[in-house]
């Protein structure tokens, strides 16, 4: 039942992805030493989000899948963020 | 291979194991479904007897047959059995397993071995829960909600009960994964999404909730275990923890879990009503979309269980608003069902009786839900018998009636035998009367202020409680008639081999009775819509 | 009995399982967010107790293991069994090193008396108790997933060796890879939230 040929990711792409991830790790550690106040956490989460997206897209092959899976993953992330948001309806206003 | 002439029924098939082993090691989705059915019937009987004992205790104020500690552990066990063992796996595990593949034209679920594994996890979970009743410090007395901080302060055996529920959560997740993949990948050629029958559609919505909500209870129960064994302090005010956060986490699962219970019930009703009205279902797409809407919005209403626990005012308002929102798609469905019956040629048989009585009790349950969803009335009614009546109308009246309807609807297909319709109808009548007598007085008692979860009450509540307790006895009598009739008929009922005794239009009525091992000798190609009576 | 193979279906099943794991950890992140919003200062001070160097090393090697796991799939798709096994070996080795680092890290905390329910910890105030409770619980659950991952990789490597997993049938390897990347994903968020609080 193989409707489509599986995509083979070249080794080179995978090494490049690793380097990007390592650079981003370096950035997030370096940013900790700077003083941005509350922005620090935001930057850290933003960098982590970018790293996660890269892992999902390349290492977890979402880039090469049909549309269904990326949509489901996005849906789950949105669901989680909504739960977090609704929970803070309570904690932000106590 | 089997004999080339006639394919063999799944009931007669002899695999590599014989006797009971041929069942508990069978990966056939139909046998797994029946395994769940038998397990559930056994524990449902236990849960019902526990309920009856509680009602007998409440027939008069003060000590009748048990003291407070026994009463506390009885309602805990009653809750754990009825919620985690019966209604959460309930319809998907029994009728989903049995009929989902047949209704979408597949030979089995996507992962048959994982399907069997999920029954085993379920069985192991049950055994672990049961150990909590017999070990050292006495049965748990927390209620099925395991609220912090009491759940890590009480000396009773909370650990095995919590761990057992955790293991059953795994089973539920695996069933959910199996169903989603089955529906995505294994529909018969030509069966597009909007040609799929409604029971599979509701199972699809349910399966997503099982996947996306069950992990929440998983981690919450693990946190309770860690709290009890290591004293981390997450929910312990003495260590800075917030007990209300436990309630948030618990209800983030347990409210969607209510939809795990009720969505497949709505699916069953959507199957039964067109068949016995001999009419196409009214508003197929509206039912599908409202199913998915309930699954989604139902994820964000958990806070309405916590209106009096000290949440912020804005959270109260948001949750109350969302609760009213989720009532809309449920109401749409009720309109659809009633409209389907309108001008149909009604065929008054046992499954139809269950379906119509479902509509009645489900409406009462749903409308009283709105009473509880409003902030002002909730404060008055919170933790009273009004709540108990409301959720029994939804969970027992909704899911339970649909379950009974499903059993009577699909029984001939599953067993190749017919039950005695007169006894079945009599059982339904007695059960229905008992049900109303048992739960309707509780609304009144709740409004008057009788709190739930107490073994005792003030003398002015005596009248209502006598009525309610007698109702419980009537209900149990009806239940016994139904069960005895079904068990007898499964073994000795008149044999039928007719493929379509009710005149249904979905695929399960086009396969042999009882279904053959592989359901279909040839996978059918679907051209028309389901429920086509023209 | 009924034999059919559906790699797309198997992969979809694995993704659904990954969703459950995401929500499982997700709820722990909710707990974290709630308590950090209550005690921001205490979380910052407690976060400085953690060893950033060790945390960074673990982040880096886990990322490398993600790459070797992804590469092992490319290797099997190209029919290079030997390279595939070597890459799996490296992945398992890195996973073990991660756990060893973790062991020393936790050990150091225990020596200071920082462990759940310790009397020293209880004197330090609510924020610190909750921070270390979350730290041990979340990294503990994560470490449990690493251990399960090691078991899965050993099983998969044996299957590759026995040619049960090969060029045209490698969905088990792919799914194990997906699981491993999930473990990495979680760590990508755990690392800044515990070690790099500012």
* Digit-coded pLDDT (tens) for B13-57: 877 788 888 899 999 999 999 999 999 999 999 999 999 999 999
Q: Do B230 and C117 touch (CB under 8 A)?
A: yes
Domain residue limits at C85:
16-195
Tokens of A10: 């070249």
Mean pLDDT of the B236-256 span: 95
Please give the residue of chain A at the shortest CA–CA distance from C170: A6
pLDDT tens-digit series, residues C140-159: 999 999 999 999 999 999 99
- pLDDT bin (cut points 50, 70, 90) of residue B237 is very high
Strand partners, B384: B451
Tokens of B50: 């526990």
The angle that helices B284-297 and B243-277 make with each other, rounded to 10 degrees, is 170
**Comparing C-alpha atoms, which of B59, B51, B55, B57 is closest to residue B466?**
B59
Same domain, A56 and A71: no
Q: Do B249 and C2 touch (CB under 8 A)?
A: no
Please indicate if any CB of chain C lies within 8 Å of the CB of B310: no
Q: Is A60 helix (H, G, I), strand (E, B) or coil?
A: coil
Mean pLDDT of the B118-145 span: 93
d(CA B160, CA B225): 9
**Comparing C-alpha atoms, which of C97, C96, C139 is closest to residue C116?**
C139
Same domain, A56 and A31: yes
Mean pLDDT of the B337-351 span: 95
Same domain, A45 and A73: no
Residue B478 has what pLDDT? 97
Rg (CA), chain C: 19
Please give the residue of chain A at the shortest CA–CA distance from C52: A29
pLDDT tens-digit series, residues B352-399: 999 999 999 999 999 999 999 999 999 999 999 999 999 999 999 999
- pLDDT bin (cut points 50, 70, 90) of residue B514 is very high
Q: What are phi and psi of C166, to 5 degrees?
A: -145, -170
Residue C4 has what pLDDT? 66
Same domain, A54 and A15: yes
Same domain, A56 and A24: yes
* Strands (E) located in B100-258: none
Q: Chains with 3 or more CB pairs closer than 8 angstroms to A?
A: B, C
Please give the residue of chain A at the shortest CA–CA distance from C26: A80
Q: Do B303 and A79 touch (CB under 8 A)?
A: no
**Comparing C-alpha atoms, which of B58, B70, B161, B99 is closest to residue B530?**
B99
Please give the residue of chain B at the shortest CA–CA distance from A88: B315
Q: Which residue has the tokens 């490049």?
A: A16
pLDDT tens-digit series, residues B185-215: 999 999 999 999 999 999 999 999 999 999 9
pLDDT along chain A (94 residues), means of 10: 66 96 95 84 94 96 92 97 95 92
Find the CB nearest B234 among C8, C21, C133.
C133
DSSP letter assigned to residue B340 = H
Q: Do B212 and C23 touch (CB under 8 A)?
A: yes
Residue A54 has what pLDDT? 97
**Comparing C-alpha atoms, which of C8, C77, B193 is closest to residue A3?**
C8
Count of domains forming chain A: 2
C138, part of any domain: yes
Cis-peptide, bond into residue C169, ω within 30° of zero: no
Residue B190 has what pLDDT? 95
CA distances from B165 to B89, B224, B368 (A): 12, 12, 29
Find the CB nearest C196 among A15, A17, A44.
A44
C33, part of any domain: yes
DSSP letter assigned to residue B8 = P
Number of cross-chain residue pairs from A and B with Cβ atoms under 8 Å apart: 33
Q: Do A93 and B303 touch (CB under 8 A)?
A: no
CA distances from B274 to B191, B337, B340 (A): 19, 8, 6
pLDDT tens-digit series, residues B173-182: 999 999 999 9
C38, part of any domain: yes
Q: How far is B77 from chain A (nearest CA, A)?
A: 30
Measured between its terminal Cα atoms, the distance across chain B in Å is 40
pLDDT tens-digit series, residues C120-133: 888 888 999 999 99
Where helices occur in chain C by DSSP H, the ranges are 7-38, 40-47, 52-77, 81-111, 119-122, 126-161, 171-195
**Comparing C-alpha atoms, which of B166, B149, B159 is closest to residue B239?**
B149
In this model, does residue C119 exceed pLDDT 90?
no
**Residue B72: CA atoms inside 13 Å, Cβ hemisphere, count?**
12
**What are the residues whose beta carbons fall under 8 Å from the beta carbon of B55, sequence distance 6 or more?**
B438, B468, B469, B472, B473
DSSP-assigned letters across all residues of B425-450: HHHHHHHHHHHHHHHHHHHHHHHHTP
Nearest-5° angle of CA B260, CA B265, CA B267? 105
Q: What is the dihedral of CA B240, B243, B246, B250, to 10 degrees?
A: 180
Same domain, A73 and A42: no
pLDDT tens-digit series, residues B411-420: 999 999 999 9
Same domain, A38 and A56: yes
Same domain, A19 and A33: yes
DSSP letter assigned to residue C86 = H
Residue A10 has what pLDDT? 93
Q: Domains, chain B, ranges and CATH? A: 21-509 (1.20.210.10)
Q: Do B300 and A86 touch (CB under 8 A)?
A: yes
| H or E element that contains B417 | strand B417-418
Domain residue limits at A27:
10-60
Same domain, A71 and A56: no
ipTM above 0.90, yes or no: yes
C119, part of any domain: yes
Count of domains forming chain C: 1
Please report, for the domain that includes residue C101, its CATH number.
Answer: 1.20.120.80
Burial class (CB in 10 A: 0-12, 13-18, 19+), C49: middle
Mean pLDDT of the B308-323 span: 94
Residue B328 has what pLDDT? 94
Portion of chain B with pLDDT greater than 70, in percent: 99
Q: How far is A52 from chain C (nearest CA, A)?
A: 6
Residue C113 has what pLDDT? 85
Higher pLDDT, C1 or B142: B142
Burial B10-25 (b: 16+ CB within 10 A, else e): beebeeeeeeeeebee
**Comparing C-alpha atoms, which of C142, C150, C5, C42 is closest to residue C88?**
C150
pLDDT tens-digit series, residues C85-102: 999 999 999 999 999 999
Burial class (CB in 10 A: 0-12, 13-18, 19+), A75: middle
A2, part of any domain: no
Same domain, A31 and A71: no
Q: Do A89 and B318 touch (CB under 8 A)?
A: yes
Same domain, A40 and A56: yes
C160, part of any domain: yes
The angle that helices B158-185 and B112-134 make with each other, rounded to 10 degrees, is 160
CA distances from A11 to A15, A84, B404 (A): 6, 38, 58
C2, part of any domain: no
In this model, does residue B427 exceed pLDDT 60?
yes
C1, part of any domain: no
Residue B334 has what pLDDT? 96
Same domain, A30 and A46: yes
d(CA C24, CA C29): 9
In this model, does residue B5 exceed pLDDT 60?
no
Q: How far is B5 from chain C (nearest CA, A)?
A: 18
A3, part of any domain: no
- pLDDT bin (cut points 50, 70, 90) of residue C1 is very low
Tokens of B490: 């499964």
């Amino acid at each position: 039942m193989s409707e489509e040929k599986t995509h083979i990711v070249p080794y080179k792409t995978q090494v490049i992805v690793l380097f990007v991830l390592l650079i981003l790790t370096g950035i997030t550690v370096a940013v900790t030493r700077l003083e941005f106040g509350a922005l620090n956490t935001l930057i850290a989460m933003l960098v982590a989000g970018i790293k996660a997206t890269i892992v999902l897209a390349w290492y977890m092959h979402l880039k090469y899948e049909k549309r269904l899976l990326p949509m489901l993953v996005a849906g789950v992330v949105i669901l989680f963020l909504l739960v977090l948001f609704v929970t803070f309806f309570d904690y932000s206003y106590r | 291979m089997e004999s080339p002439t006639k394919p063999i029924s799944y009931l007669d098939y002899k695999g590599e194991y014989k006797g009971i082993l041929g069942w508990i090691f069978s990966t056939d989705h139909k046998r797994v479904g029946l395994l769940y059915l038998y397990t559930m019937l056994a524990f449902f009987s236990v849960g019902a007897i526990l309920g009856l004992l509680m009602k007998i205790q409440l027939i008069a104020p003060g000590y009748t047959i048990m003291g407070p500690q026994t009463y506390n552990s009885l309602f805990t066990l009653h809750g754990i059995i009825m919620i985690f063992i019966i209604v959460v796996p309930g319809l998907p595990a029994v009728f989903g397993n049995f009929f989902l593949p047949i209704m979408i034209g597949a030979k089995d679920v996507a992962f048959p071995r994982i399907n069997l594994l999920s029954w085993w996890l379920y069985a192991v979970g049950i055994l672990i829960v049961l150990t909590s009743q017999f070990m050292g410090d006495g049965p748990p007395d927390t209620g099925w909600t395991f609220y912090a901080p009491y759940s890590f302060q009480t000396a009773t055996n909370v650990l095995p009960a919590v761990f057992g529920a955790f293991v059953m959560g795994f089973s539920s997740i695996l069933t959910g994964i199996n169903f989603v993949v089955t529906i995505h990948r294994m529909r018969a050629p030509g069966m597009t999404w909007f040609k799929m029958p409604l029971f599979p559609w509701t199972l699809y919505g349910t399966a997503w909730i099982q996947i996306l909500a069950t992990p929440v209870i998983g981690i919450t129960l693990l946190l309770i275990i860690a709290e009890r064994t290591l004293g981390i302090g997450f929910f312990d005010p003495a260590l800075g923890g917030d007990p209300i956060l436990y309630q948030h986490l618990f209800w983030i699962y347990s409210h969607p879990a209510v939809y795990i219970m009720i969505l497949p019930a709505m699916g069953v009703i959507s199957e039964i009503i067109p068949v016995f009205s001999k009419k196409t279902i009214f508003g197929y797409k509206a039912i599908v979309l409202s199913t998915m809407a309930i699954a989604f919005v139902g994820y964000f209403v958990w806070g309405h269980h916590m209106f009096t626990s000290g949440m912020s005012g804005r959270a109260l308002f948001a949750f109350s608003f969302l609760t009213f929102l989720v009532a809309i798609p449920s109401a749409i469905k009720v309109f659809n069902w009633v409209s389907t019956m309108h001008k149909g040629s009604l065929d008054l048989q046992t499954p139809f009786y269950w379906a119509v009585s479902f509509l009645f009790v489900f409406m009462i349950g749903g409308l009283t839900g709105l009473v509880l969803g409003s902030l002002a009335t909730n404060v008055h009614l919170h933790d009273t018998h009004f709540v108990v009546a409301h959720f029994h109308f939804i969970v027992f009246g909704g899911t339970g009636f649909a379950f009974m309807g499903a059993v009577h609807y699909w029984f001939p297909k599953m067993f190749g035998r017919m039950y005695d319709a007169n006894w079945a109808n009599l059982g339904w009548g007695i059960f229905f009367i008992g049900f109303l007598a048992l739960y309707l007085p509780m609304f009144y008692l709740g409004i008057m202020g009788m709190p739930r979860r107490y073994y005792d009450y003030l003398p002015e509540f005596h009248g209502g409680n006598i009525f309610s307790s007698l109702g419980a006895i009537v209900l149990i009598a009806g239940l016994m008639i139904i069960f005895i009739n079904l068990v007898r008929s499964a073994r000795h009922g008149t044999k039928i081999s007719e493929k379509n005794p009710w005149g249904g239009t979905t695929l399960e009525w086009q396969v042999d009775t009882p279904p053959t091992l592989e359901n279909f000798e040839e996978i059918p190609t679907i051209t028309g819509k389901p429920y086509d009576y023209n | 009995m009924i034999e059919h193979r559906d790699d797309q279906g198997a992969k979809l099943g694995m993704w659904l399982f990954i969703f459950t794991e995401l929500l499982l950890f997700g709820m722990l992140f909710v707990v974290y967010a709630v308590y950090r919003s209550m005690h921001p200062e205490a979380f910052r001070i407690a976060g400085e107790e953690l060893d950033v160097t060790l945390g960074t090393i673990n982040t880096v090697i886990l990322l490398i293991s993600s790459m070797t796991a992804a590469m092992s799939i490319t290797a099997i798709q190209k029919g290079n069994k030997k390279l595939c096994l070597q890459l799996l070996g490296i992945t398992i080795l890195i996973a073990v090193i991660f756990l060893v680092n973790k062991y020393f890290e936790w050990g150091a905390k225990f020596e200071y008396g920082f462990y759940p329910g310790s009397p020293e910890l209880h004197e330090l105030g609510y924020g610190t108790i909750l921070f270390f409770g979350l730290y041990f619980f979340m990294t503990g659950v994560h470490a449990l997933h690493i251990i399960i991952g090691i078991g899965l990789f050993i099983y998969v490597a044996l299957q590759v060796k026995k040619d049960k997993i090969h060029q045209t049938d490698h969905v088990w390897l792919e799914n194990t890879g997906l699981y491993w990347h999930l473990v990495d994903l979680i760590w990508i968020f755990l690392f800044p939230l515990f070690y790099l609080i500012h």
